[in-house]
């Protein structure tokens, strides 16, 4: 056992200590704490340790409210108060941009979640017999649960009353649980604006933060007077449809068929088909596009969007709005644009409180 001081914090919510100069990663700790740890794995350049005891706790430490915390693989920041979680995420974003994209960006706007708990409108459970559960942290073993403190309360009510049937549970903006079609209410942009979606397509899990992301995008698109927008990884049209509703012509580029079907249905229903086009395209394979948009929106999965960067460098849209759920690939991708673009704005949207995950939006402007 070793007694160490937590000197730094890493992206995956791991505290960093040093033993004889070698880095040690420890979960469930916070910066400046003094803790006892057991080394459980030795690698060439670093070690991994388990927390044994907290000798000097951080003033930001709180008691986690979930009885499965530390056992379940879901949350990893519940031991920090919510405003400190935001501070840690901002620190991680700044550090990642500095380390990988090699520039400092100090003016990051942080948008907190209205509900730091009970915010997830979609949860994938594991059925253990007829009971609900999740995987244990970093393992395939089960942890049975009767309640999840980050799931929408409607989902918690549902799992109390129903046996597990091996499917994802989602609650939509009509308050329906597990409907065959989901419903996103975007009337904050324009009356009657809504999107239908299939549970087989991606949906942003935190309703409040999704609204903030759309509002922020729309505000900037209006200021930039974007008229023709390509929405890379556009999914069900979460950004495309609000953009068309304010008058932009939009092409949604996406690979998932269910997402594209929902998108086309919504466009038809809303009488926006003349403003909204789509192309089924695998953006991880080489692609050719003739379109010359003035603005580009992209929202890739965690692996990022290397090929879209090459497209942007060739077609030179005046503004790029890059949404990302993974700061390291975001930093890698935007660094490849810095020869032509300046980073004008950066927002951190806390889509996933109690976990180390978050969304970032970067606005890049051509020089
Ligand atoms: C983070 S989601 C964003 C979706 C949408 N922008 C939204 O806000 O709901 C990423 C999207 O990328 C799509 N995607 C994943 N791999 C892809 C690929 N190889 N080519 C094109 N789209 C892909 C997924 O289907 C998903 O819709």
Asked if residue 270 lies in contact with residue 241, where contact means CB atoms within 8 angstroms, the answer is yes
β-bridge pairing 341-349 and 34-42: unpaired
Going by the DSSP 8-state scheme, the letter that residue 32 receives in this structure is: T
Q: How confident is the model at residue 165 (pLDDT cuts 50, 70, 90)?
A: confident
Q: Give catalytic residues, as residue numbers.
A: 325
* Ligand 1, atom 23: closest residue by C-alpha: 255
Listed in sequence order, the residues at least 6 apart from 132 whose beta carbon sits closer than 8 Å to its beta carbon are 125, 126, 144, 145, 146, 159, 164
* Ligand 1, atom 13: closest residue by C-alpha: 233
Give the count of alpha carbons within 13 A of 78, CB side only.
18
Q: Which pLDDT value is given to residue 167?
A: 73
Query: Rounded distance, CA 159 to CA 169, Å?
Result: 9
Asked if residue 189 lies in contact with residue 242, where contact means CB atoms within 8 angstroms, the answer is yes
Q: Residue 219 pLDDT more than 90?
A: yes
Nearest alpha carbon to residue 169 among 238, 121, 241, 111: 121
β-bridge pairing 126-128 and 131-135: antiparallel
* Ligand 1, atom 3: closest residue by C-alpha: 299
Query: Rounded distance, CA 302 to CA 153, Å?
Result: 28
Q: Which pLDDT value is given to residue 344?
A: 98
pLDDT single digits (tens) 256-282: 999 999 999 999 999 999 999 999 999
DSSP 221-275: HHHHT--EEEEET-TTTTTHHHHHHTT-EEEEEE--HHHHHHHHHHHHHTT-TTT
pLDDT single digits (tens) 5-29: 999 999 899 999 999 999 999 999 9
Query: Rounded distance, CA 104 to CA 64, Å?
Result: 33
* Ligand 1, atom 26: closest residue by C-alpha: 235
Least confident of 198-207, 308-317, 335-344: 198-207
**Ligand 1 neighbours by CB, cut-off 6 Å:** 202, 204, 233-236, 238-239, 254-256, 259, 282-284, 299-301
Q: Which pLDDT value is given to residue 73?
A: 85
pLDDT single digits (tens) 282-323: 999 999 999 999 999 999 999 999 999 999 999 999 999 999
Q: Delineate the domains of the chain, giving CATH numbers in brackets.
A: 1-60 (2.40.50.140), 87-366 (3.40.50.150)
Long-range contacts of 267-270 (CB under 8 A, 24+ apart): 267/237, 267/241, 269/196, 270/192, 270/193, 270/194, 270/241, 270/245
Query: Which atom of ligand 1 is found nearest the CA of 204?
Result: 9
Name the residue of 231, 234, 235 whose CB sits within 8 Å of the most ligand 1 atoms, as the mutation to test its pocket: 235
Mean pLDDT of the chain: 95
Question: What integer is the mean pLDDT of 121-137?
Answer: 90
Query: Which atom of ligand 1 is found nearest the CA of 233?
Result: 12
Query: Which atom of ligand 1 is found nearest the CA of 297?
Result: 6
Query: Rounded to the nearest whole angstrom, what is the distance from the C-alpha of residue 42 to the centroid of ligand 1?
Result: 37
Please give the share of the chain, as a percent, with pLDDT higher than 90. 91
Query: Rounded to the nearest whole angstrom, what is the distance from the C-alpha of residue 253 to the centroid of ligand 1?
Result: 9
Question: What integer is the mean pLDDT of 73-87?
Answer: 96
Question: Tokens at residue 331, please?
Answer: 């930093």
Q: Which pLDDT value is given to residue 138?
A: 77
Q: Residue 90 pLDDT more than 90?
A: yes
**pTM, entire model:** 0.96
Query: Rounded to the nearest whole angstrom, what is the distance from the C-alpha of residue 195 to the centroid of ligand 1?
Result: 16
Q: Which pLDDT value is given to residue 181?
A: 82
Q: Which pLDDT value is given to residue 137?
A: 80
Nearest alpha carbon to residue 2 among 37, 52, 40, 41: 37
Query: Rounded distance, CA 348 to CA 362, Å?
Result: 9
Query: Rounded to the nearest whole angstrom, what is the distance from the C-alpha of residue 112 to the centroid of ligand 1?
Result: 24
Q: Which pLDDT value is given to residue 108?
A: 98
Query: Rounded distance, CA 195 to CA 268, Å?
Result: 11
Q: Residue 166 pLDDT more than 90?
A: no
Q: How confident is the model at residue 139 (pLDDT cuts 50, 70, 90)?
A: confident
How many Cβ atoms are within 10 Å of 59's Cβ, its own excluded? 9
Listed in sequence order, the residues at least 6 apart from 146 whose beta carbon sits closer than 8 Å to its beta carbon are 132, 159, 160
Query: Rounded to the nearest whole angstrom, what is the distance from the C-alpha of residue 299 to the centroid of ligand 1?
Result: 7
**β partners of residue 126:** 133
């Amino acid at each position: 056992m070793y007694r160490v001081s937590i000197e730094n914090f890493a992206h995956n919510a791991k505290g960093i200590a040093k033993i004889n100069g070698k880095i040690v990663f420890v979960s469930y700790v916070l910066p400046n704490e003094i803790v006892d740890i057991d080394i459980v794995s030795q690698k060439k350049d670093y070690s991994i340790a388990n927390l044994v005891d907290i000798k000097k706790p951080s003033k930001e430490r709180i008691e986690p409210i979930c009885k499965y915390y530390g056992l379940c693989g879901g949350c990893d920041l519940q031991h920090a108060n919510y405003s400190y979680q935001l501070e840690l995420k901002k620190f991680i974003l700044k550090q990642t941009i500095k380390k990988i994209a090699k520039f400092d960006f100090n003016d990051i706007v942080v948008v907190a979640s209205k509900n730091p708990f009970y915010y997830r409108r979609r949860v994938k459970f594991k059925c253990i017999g007829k009971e609900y559960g999740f995987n244990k942290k970093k393992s395939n073993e089960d942890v049975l649960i009767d309640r999840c403190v980050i799931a929408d309360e409607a989902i918690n009510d549902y799992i109390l009353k129903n046996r597990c049937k091996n499917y994802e549970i989602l609650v939509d903006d009509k308050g329906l649980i597990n409907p065959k079609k989901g419903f996103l209410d975007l009337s904050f942009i324009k009356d009657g604006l809504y999107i239908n979606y299939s549970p087989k397509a991606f949906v942003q899990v935190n309703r409040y933060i999704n609204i903030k992301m759309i509002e922020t995008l729309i505000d900037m698109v209006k200021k930039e007077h974007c008229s023709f927008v390509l929405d890379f990884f556009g999914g069900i049209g979460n950004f495309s449809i609000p953009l068309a509703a304010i008058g932009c012509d939009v092409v949604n580029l996406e690979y998932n068929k269910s997402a594209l079907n929902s998108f086309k249905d919504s466009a038809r229903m809303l009488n926006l088909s003349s403003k909204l086009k789509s192309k089924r395209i695998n953006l991880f394979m080489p692609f050719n596009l003739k379109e010359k948009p003035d603005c580009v929106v992209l929202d890739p999965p965690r692996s990022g969007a290397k090929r879209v960067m090459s497209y942007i460098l060739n077609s030179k849209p005046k503004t790029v709005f890059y949404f990302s759920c993974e700061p390291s690939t975001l930093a890698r991708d935007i660094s490849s644009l810095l020869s032509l673009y300046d980073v004008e704005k950066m927002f951190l949207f806390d889509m996933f409180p109690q976990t180390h995950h978050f969304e970032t939006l970067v606005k890049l402007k051509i020089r």
